[in-house]
Amino acid sequence: MAGLVTFKGQLYSFNSTGSGGALELRDTPFAGANDLGAPDRTAWESATRAYLASHPEINVIIWSWCGQVSSSTESDINTYLTLMNGLERDYPKVSFVYMTGHLDGSGTSGNLHQRNEQIRAYV
C-alpha cells in the first residue's frame, strides 16, 4: 500500500485511524479466524458477523486466503461464495470484496486457476 501512495499520491494514503482523510485500514481485527482458511474454511464468516455487530461504522470487509485455494475443491469454493452471499444479504450497507488465491505456478490447467475462475464467474 505504501508503494501506491508513493506512485499515485495522497488520494491513496492510509493509516490505522483514518486521520487526515486517509483510508482507515484495520489489519487482522477479527477474533477466531486468521484468513479464509484458518482455522477452517468457515470461521471467518462468524468472526465477520461478530466484528460488524460491534463495529457498525465499518463499510468494507476484505478477507484473504493464504494458500488454501490451491487445494480447494469446487465445493469448498461454493461454501465461501455462499457465506459471502449471506453476509452481503444481511449487511447491505457493507461492501464485501471477494478474493482469489495467489498464483502457485500450476498454470491455466491447474486447480488454482479453475477455482479462481469459479470465484470470478460468481462475482
Asked whether 88 and 63 are in contact (CB, 8 A), the reply is no
One-letter identity of residue 31: A
Q: Mean pLDDT across the stretch 54-61? A: 93
Per-residue pLDDT at 123: 95
91 pLDDT band, cuts 50/70/90, is very high
Q: What are the angstrom distances between the C-alpha of 113 and each of 67, 116, 121?
A: 13, 5, 12
For the chain, percent of residues with pLDDT exceeding 90: 79
Per-residue pLDDT at 28: 82
Residue pLDDT, tens place only, 6-40: 999 899 898 888 899 888 888 888 899 999 999 99
Q: How far apart are CA 102 and CA 44, in angstroms?
A: 18
2 has pLDDT over 90: no
Per-residue pLDDT at 51: 96
1 has pLDDT over 90: no
Alpha-carbon Rg for the chain in angstroms: 16
Q: How far apart are CA 111 and CA 95, in angstroms?
A: 28
